[in-house]
Every structure is written in C-alpha cells, then in structure tokens.
Amino acid sequence: MDNNEVPNGTADNIIFDWNAVRESIRSWLREDVGPGDVTTLSTIAQSHRSRAVIHAKADGVAAGLPVARLVFAETDDSLQVRFIAPEGSDIKYGDILMEVEGSTRSILTGERLALNLLQRMSGIATKTRSFVAALQDLPNPPRIVDTRKTTPGLRLLEKYAVRVGGGHNHRFGLFDAVLLKDNHLKAAGGVAEAIAMARAQIPHTMRVEVEAESLEQVKEATESGADVIMLDNMSGDAMREAVAWIRQAAPRTVVEASGGVSLETVRSIAETGVDVISVGGLTHSVPALDISLDLYDKKEVRP
C-alpha cells in the first residue's frame, strides 16, 4: 500500500493534504528526536531488528492509521507497516491495529509520535461515533459537525478524525465561509447590516451564516437572506419556535443548533427539527483513546 493511500473503511470524500501532513510530521519528529534518541542509540544495536504490534487498550474507533504509518516512513522509510484493523472500524480492548517491522531503533524513535497522533485521532473518532449513534434511529437525523475549537497545528487531522467517526465538518477556517457571530453583529450595527456588508464583499458562491440568540434575531436573519442560521444556546422551546418560523418563512435555509451540546442533550436538540448540530466537544476536550506499542519476536541480524 502506498503511503498516500488511505485504507478501506475510512470516511468518504476526505480532502487530505498529505504534503502538509508530511511537513508537520517532520517538524514534530525534529521537536521530539532533536539530534538523536539518546536512550535508544545507547542501548540498542544498530543491527537489531524487531516486529512491533500497536494495539488498543480501550474500546473505541480506529482513526489515524495512515498518519501513524507516515510517521514511521519519515522516521525510516525501510520500515514495513501492515494494517490489521481498517480505518474507521470499531475496535475492542486488545485488538491489534497495525504491525511494524524493521530496525528496532527506528521503531522506538517513531513510537511516541505515532501513538500520540493515533490516540488523539481515535479519541475524536470515538466521541463523534457516540454522538452519531445517539441519533441514528431518528427518521431524518441532523448532521453532527465539528467547530474551529481544534488544537493549533492539528486541525486537518482532527477534522479528518471527525469524518472517520461518522460526523461532518463545519467550515475549515476563517476563509471558506462567512459566520457572523455576536461580536460581528455588534460591530456591524445589527444583523441586517452585517449580512448586507458581507454579501457586498464575498463571492456569490459563498454562504452566509448568522448566529442568533433570540427569535427576534432569527426573524431578522431570515428576512435578510441568511443561508444558514445558528441557534445559539437556545432552550428547547425557543429552538422549536425558531425552527417553525424559519421553515415557514424560508424553507431552504439551513438551521444549525450550537452551544451546550452533550450526549445527554443531543437527542432532544435533534428532535426540534434542526438540520445540523455543531459540537465543540468533539475536538476541544476529548480524551485520547488508550493505544500502546509492544515489541516482539526480537532478533539480532548480523552480516
């Protein structure tokens, strides 16, 4: 399998910039390894070769396997990596995710970075899958989407992990959609004014989303032609009233719910009839999935 190939089972339609990921991995390896892994270099013979297994120590969703492989490739391109679990698969405690074979020094040098990324991405995919599963029996479940509350430098990988977990992505950054939040509305002079100014500056192909905290703002955003209206931190009753208004006044408008979303509240939010539910907790405070690497079948290889 080529290093640019994503294993079967991954989320569809991911735009994955491998060159950017490769550059980041090189930088992260420089940060971790520096001029050399002194522990490994001082205790492991250069000729020593091993096979290693990366395995789960908790139940969850596997995500980031091709990224971990790229870590090992950048550490030593002679290492052989084999996937055991498909990307995006449900995994149980003890399941083997991948095997690595080659120089013991290289395996141990790349181990921590590969595990850090696997654990972070699998944690995000696992949490996302739990939100998606909570709504799967609804007749028309809303999309579960992420936010920009990501770790600096890891946004591409974290948003990819959300997709692997069955969720969807909100805008990637500040450049690919207009999202008028409370401070924009204050500075611009109001909802209608902000929408008009944005429309005058952006391409006709770009959507305008407005954050609304009250039914009054919802009505103003609807009447001013917002493409997407985010219902921010509204009560269930207020949300249902807002959805009913939007469906009547502008049925093609996308309705998003945001703020205070948890596994305990997501179903009741979905039942208000919104199209999208954005969950910052998918990325900003998700626990890592416990994953480990163990060496086995070690041997000295002599000329």
Given a contact cutoff of 8 angstroms between Cβ atoms, the answer to whether 113 and 71 are in contact is yes
Round to whole Å and give the CA distance between 155 and 172.
8
Question: Which pLDDT does position 4 carry in this prediction?
Answer: 40
Q: Which runs of E-coded beta strand occur in the chain?
A: 48-56, 60-61, 80-83, 90-91, 96-103, 143-145, 178-180, 208-212, 228-232, 254-258, 276-278, 291-300
Pick the CATH number of 177-282 from 3.40.50.300, 3.30.750.24, 3.20.20.70, 3.40.640.10: 3.20.20.70
Q: Which CATH number fits domain 18-125+287-300: 2.60.34.10, 2.60.40.1890, 3.90.1170.20, 3.40.109.10?
A: 3.90.1170.20
Residues of the chain with CATH 3.90.1170.20: 18-125+287-300
The whole-angstrom separation of Cα 178 and Cα 197 is 11
Quote the pLDDT of residue 18. 85
Instruction: Determine the pLDDT at residue 48.
Output: 95
Q: Residue 83 contacts by C-beta under 8 Å, 6 or more apart in sequence?
A: 1, 7, 65, 69, 97, 98
Is residue 228 within 8 A of residue 208, CB to CB? The reply is: yes
Q: What is the pLDDT along the chain (303 residues), one digit of tens a residue?
A: 343 444 433 444 456 788 999 999 999 999 999 999 999 999 999 999 999 999 999 999 999 999 999 999 999 999 999 999 999 999 999 999 999 999 999 999 999 999 999 999 999 999 999 999 999 999 999 999 999 999 999 999 999 999 999 999 999 999 999 999 999 999 999 999 999 999 999 999 999 999 999 999 999 999 999 999 999 999 999 999 999 999 999 999 999 999 989 999 999 999 999 999 999 999 999 999 999 999 986 554 443
Alpha carbons 224 and 198: distance in angstroms, whole number: 12
- Residue 297: phi and psi, rounded to 5, are 55, 45
Write down the pLDDT at residue 299. 54
Distances (CA, A) of 253 to 13, 170, 192: 24, 16, 16
- Active-site residue set: 112, 149, 181, 211, 232
Q: Counting Cβ atoms within 10 Å, is residue 11 exposed (0-12), middle (13-18) or buried (19+)?
A: buried
Residue span(s) of the chain under CATH 3.20.20.70 come to 177-282
Measured in degrees and rounded to the nearest 5, phi and psi for residue 291 equal -135, 140
CA-to-CA dists, residue 58 to 19, 119, 126, angstroms: 31, 11, 11
* pLDDT value at residue 126: 98
Note the pLDDT of residue 17.
Answer: 83
